[in-house]
Amino acid sequence: MATIYEVSELAGVSLATVSRVMNNNAKVSEKTRTKVLQAMDELGYRPNSIAQSLASNRTNSVGVLVSELHGGFFGFIMDGIENELRLANKHIIITTGHSDEAQEKSAIEFLISRKCDALILLTDSVDDDYLVSISKTIPTVLVNRKVDEMAQNCISLNNELGGYLATKALIEKGHKDIAYISGPDWKVDSHDRLVGHQRALAEHDITYQNDLFYQGDFNEGTGFEGYNELTAAPTKFTAIACGNDEMASGAMKAARKQGLNLPKDLSIVGFDNNMFASYLYPELTTIDNSAYLMGKMATDIILKNVYKQDDIAIQNVFEPKLITRNSIATK
Amino acid sequence: MATIYEVSELAGVSLATVSRVMNNNAKVSEKTRTKVLQAMDELGYRPNSIAQSLASNRTNSVGVLVSELHGGFFGFIMDGIENELRLANKHIIITTGHSDEAQEKSAIEFLISRKCDALILLTDSVDDDYLVSISKTIPTVLVNRKVDEMAQNCISLNNELGGYLATKALIEKGHKDIAYISGPDWKVDSHDRLVGHQRALAEHDITYQNDLFYQGDFNEGTGFEGYNELTAAPTKFTAIACGNDEMASGAMKAARKQGLNLPKDLSIVGFDNNMFASYLYPELTTIDNSAYLMGKMATDIILKNVYKQDDIAIQNVFEPKLITRNSIATK
DNA sequence: TTGTATGCGTTATCAA
DNA sequence: TTGATAACGCATACAA
């Protein structure tokens, strides 16, 4: 592989000059420039970005931590990051933490030792203090998480509003007896969605009933169990709002197993607008979580702060949107 | 950020010694080792992997090219790669090509200039010659693609067998009138799956009929259209085999729209075992494409050839498996 | 077992 | 507008 040195020899100029035409950041006469370009071409020269990084103290890469590489949410966030980064000629180094604290920390350490110019982290297994300390070493933006000391660098979804919109969609179709299958309470997203649900109820003078609440864990199985538990209780309902789409799917399966005709006998609304939501039957009405946009925005914060791209507007909180499909029947 | 030099000063030893304890590849007395370790700890030293790479001509990273970051197929392949790589203490640099030749080539160029130790490529937009020439520069393995000159470094699925198994599953449930909705003919996977379908038919003395064939493009919409086209023709059928799960979903939606009761009135089998397959109603019987395993194996080839890990068995072609769910009724 | 010296392929600071 | 030359942080052959 040809080096800048060989290029300089062939072109009959100095190392410095070759470097200048590569980065075209200094004046070079048209004549020498073409000479150099020609030499590069002739040698099939490709810059060694490792060497560039060492010398310039810039890797033009941003490190990303996600839980898994598969899965809709992460996929779209990564897409948002990667697309935006590519437009800026930067690139992405991805690591996974599998929602395990030790793995997440070691992934972060790795990204730092790899000299990423900045970090985008999706994590809930690592504590606030650690994140704050990291952010003092290297520009860091957090997606789907809020840490007060880093508020400017946190991107999140207004989950409360999302929960509100979901339940409101049910109410507007005439439903009053609405059950709720929640995600784990210790997750803020999950908690906020429930709060939104309750606000929608209250605003329409519907009293919230404990009988109509089931606590799941965001996995499909608990949606299934949840529906069965809820129907075992005396309080009847005509609709269910679910903390996410997986559980909505589970509830749909359980309901169908009990012989219900969907959506006629039971209306359901999900949350996340997961990839499979439109493949469900009936196609699931749900809340879009703006995953792609959040990834894009995380990148924008970095482009602005680290790579000094101006005229970029930052938005830290995203508004969820209702995606209307066919899983809600008019009552 | 502390450097190896500062560590050596604090520990009162030479640069080389510090380097030795980092890589523990040479004898260092226990006494000096602890001295060095202590100094590292005190300074919060983290090795600069960029500098390591430049000096050692090894980046411990493998470059990966996929079409998109979201989507089940790519997700699982990347998972397979990343998991295997992490166990070996190597890491992954991911780029996307969006199925566009120019973008794919520039992504590959990028990975090379980034001095990856090896490449794992998922591409169908770039020609064989280009891939062969790349593979002479840097160890390259191809997933889901076959190039004769690089046969040892190609990982693929036995799509013909998959197509065979899918249709055979239908036949074994008593179906004889089986329609087929195919992917684009120019894609080898798609073509091979069809050939497998035809073999299953032939083996059971069922004549293949053009009336029962529809050519789609692997997207859900063409599954929908396909079903409508097929039912418009005079030849009747009780089952459909689809080139992939998306089209199967489309066909299911179309059938249901025509008032059919699934799977009683129509049996369907898909291909790929896409993430949403188990969320469909009825849950889709399909063919698993071993995406995760193919990603893992691609990595293994590199671990063996590039990183010299021995005792790794290589398998270039994967056997698809039938995943039985509820979308096939007994006739 | 430890230290010295050189090189990896660039960028960047000076001079010229 | 160009050219020497010193970093960048580490690995490694060679000496000691």
Query: Average pLDDT in the A87-107 region?
Result: 93
Cβ contact (<8 Å) for A95 and B96? no
Residue-wise pLDDT for A171-221, tens only, equals: 999 999 999 999 999 999 999 999 999 999 999 999 999 999 999 999 999
Read off the tokens for A285: 């009405």
Residue after which a domain boundary falls, among B12, B27, B56: B56
On whether both A135 and A38 belong to a single domain, the answer is no
Contacting residues of A for B70, CB less than 8 Å apart: 72, 75-76, 78-79, 275
* Residue B57 Cβ under 7 A from any strand C atom: yes
Question: Cβ of A25 < 7 Å from strand D?
Answer: no
The residue among A246, A318, A254, A330 whose CA lies nearest residue A284 is A246
In a domain? residue A331: no
Supply the pLDDT for residue B220. Answer: 96
Average pLDDT over residues B240-249: 98
Identify the closest residue of chain B to A56 by CA–CA distance: B50
The mean pLDDT value for B133-144 works out to 96
**Which nucleotide has the shortest C1'-to-CA distance from A54?**
D8
**Claim to verify: residue A36 and residue A69 sit in the same structural domain:** no
Å from B51 to nearest chain A CA? 6
Band of residue B126 on the pLDDT scale cut at 50, 70, 90: very high
* A260 shares contact with chain B (CB less than 8 Å): no
Distance in Å from D5's C1' to A257's CA comes to: 79
| Pick from A70, A112, A249: CB nearest B75 | A70
Q: How far apart are CA A112 and CA A109, in angstroms?
A: 5
Whether residue A5 lies within 8 A of chain B, CB to CB, comes out as no
Q: Taking the CB of residue A18, how many other CB atoms lie within 10 A of it?
A: 28
Tell me, yes or no, whether A43 lies in a domain.
yes
Residue of B48, B75, B280 lying closest to A69 (CB–CB): B75
**Hey, how many other C-beta atoms are within 10 angstroms of the C-beta on A295?**
30
Q: How far apart are the first and last CA of chain A?
A: 71
Contacts of B176 (CB under 8 A, 6+ apart): B204, B206, B238, B331
Same domain for B151 and B295, yes or no, is yes
- Domain check: are B277 and B170 in the same one? yes
pLDDT category of residue B124 using cuts at 50, 70 and 90? confident
Contacts of A151 (CB under 8 A, 6+ apart): A316
Domain match, B123 and B185 both: no
Residue B102 CB in 7 A reach of strand D: no
**Do the chains contact at B86 and A96, CB–CB below 8 Å?**
yes
Q: How far is CA A92 from the centre of its chain?
A: 14
Residue B113: inside a domain: yes
Q: Do A200 and A168 meet the contact criterion of CB atoms below 8 Å apart? A: yes
For residue B11, give the CATH number of its domain. 1.10.260.40
Residue B331: per-residue pLDDT: 84
Q: Give B222's pLDDT tier (boundaries 50, 70, 90).
A: very high
Same domain, B274 and B300: no
* Residue B189 shares a structural domain with residue B136: no
Q: State the sign of the Cα–Cα–Cα–Cα dihedral A306, A309, A311, A316.
A: negative
DSSP A16-84: HHHHHHHHT-S---HHHHHHHHHHHHHHT----HHHHHHHHT---EEEEEES-SSSHHHHHHHHHHHHH
Asked if pLDDT for residue B69 goes beyond 90, the answer is yes
Statement: residue B303 has pLDDT above 90: yes
pLDDT tens by residue, B74-110: 999 999 999 999 999 898 999 999 999 999 999 999 8
The parent domain of residue B282 ranges over 159-289
- pLDDT tens figures, A53-71: 999 999 999 999 999 998 8
pTM here is: 0.92
The predicted pLDDT at position A71 comes to: 82
**The pLDDT of residue B1 is above 90:** no
Nearest nt (C1') to A7 (CA)?
C9
Listed as ranges, the nucleotides of chain D within 7 A of a protein C-beta are 1-13
What does the alpha-carbon distance between residue A51 and residue B114 come to, in Å, rounded to a whole number?
A: 9
Residue B92: inside a domain: yes
**Rg of chain B on CA atoms, in Å:** 26
pLDDT at residue B26 above 90? no
Positions in chain C where some atom is under 7 Å from a protein CB = 1-13
Residue finishing a domain among A38, A56, A74: A56
Task: Tell me A283's DSSP state.
Answer: P
The pair of three-digit structure tokens given for residue B169, joined into one six-digit string: 């599953």
Give yes or no: residues A147 and A166 share one domain.
Answer: no
Q: What is the mean pLDDT of residues B148-170?
A: 98
Q: Are residues A265 and A312 in the same domain?
A: no
- Per-residue pLDDT band for A108 (boundaries 50, 70, 90) equals very high
Residue pair A223/A246 in contact by the 8 Å Cβ criterion = yes
Instruction: Evaluate whether residue B330 is within a structural domain.
Output: no
Cα(B49)–Cα(A319) distance, rounded to whole angstroms? 40
Mean pLDDT of the residues in chain B: 95
Q: What share of chain A has pLDDT > 90, as a percent?
A: 94
Facing residue for A50 by CB, picked from B47, B54, B95? B54
Q: Is the CB of B27 under 7 A from strand C?
A: yes
Whether chain B has a CB inside 8 Å of the CB on A27: the answer is no
Check B75 against A76: CB less than 8 A apart. no
Is the pLDDT confidence value at B310 over 90?
A: no
Residue of B61, B68, B279, B325 best to disrupt the A interface, most CBs of A under 10 A? B279
What's the rounded Cα separation, in Å, for the pair B331 and B263? 10
pLDDT at A155 over 90: yes
Tell me the mean pLDDT in the region A149-175.
Answer: 98
Give chain A's domain count.
3
Q: Are residues A85 and A17 in the same domain?
A: no
Residue A165's pLDDT is what? Answer: 98
Phi, psi of B2 (to 5 degrees): -65, 145
> Stretch A287-308: mean pLDDT, rounded?
97
Q: Which chain B residues contact residue A53 at CB under 8 A?
A: 50
Please report the pLDDT score of residue B255 as a whole number. 98
Question: Do B168 and B270 have their domain in common?
Answer: yes
Residue A324 lies in a domain: no
User: Residue A124: CA atoms inside 13 Å, Cβ hemisphere, count?
Assistant: 11
Q: How far is CA A259 from the centre of its chain?
A: 37
> Could you write out the three-class secondary structure of chain B?
CCCHHHHHHHHCCCHHHHHHHHHCCCCCCHHHHHHHHHHHHHHCCCCCHHHHHHHHCCCCEEEEEECCCCCHHHHHHHHHHHHHHHHCCCEEEEEECCCCHHHHHHHHHHHHHCCCCEEEECCCCCCHHHHHHHHHHCCEEEECCCCHHHHHHEEEECHHHHHHHHHHHHHHCCCCCEEEEECCCCCHHHHHHHHHHHHHHHHCCCCCCHHHEEECCCCHHHHHHHHHHHHHCCCCCCEEEECCHHHHHHHHHHHHHCCCCCCCCCEEECCECCHHHHHCCCCCEEEECCHHHHHHHHHHHHHHHCCCCCCCCCCCEECCEEECCCCCCCC
Whether residues A145 and A103 share a domain: the answer is: yes
Q: Identify whether B325 is part of a domain.
A: no
Q: Mean pLDDT throughout A15-39?
A: 93
B328 within domain boundaries = no
Chain B interface includes A244 (CB < 8 A): no
Q: What is the pLDDT of residue B256?
A: 95
Question: Is B55's CB less than 7 Å from nucleic acid strand C?
Answer: yes
Residue A331 confidence (pLDDT): 85
Q: Are the C-beta atoms of B165 and B171 separated by less than 8 Å? A: no
- Specify the CATH number for the domain of residue A222: 3.40.50.2300
Q: Kindly report the length of chain A.
A: 331
Q: What is the rounded CA–CA span in Å between residue B159 and residue A172?
A: 49
**Predicted local distance difference test score (pLDDT) of residue B71:** 82
B149 close to A (CB below 8 A): no
Q: Two tokens at A206?
A: 């519907």
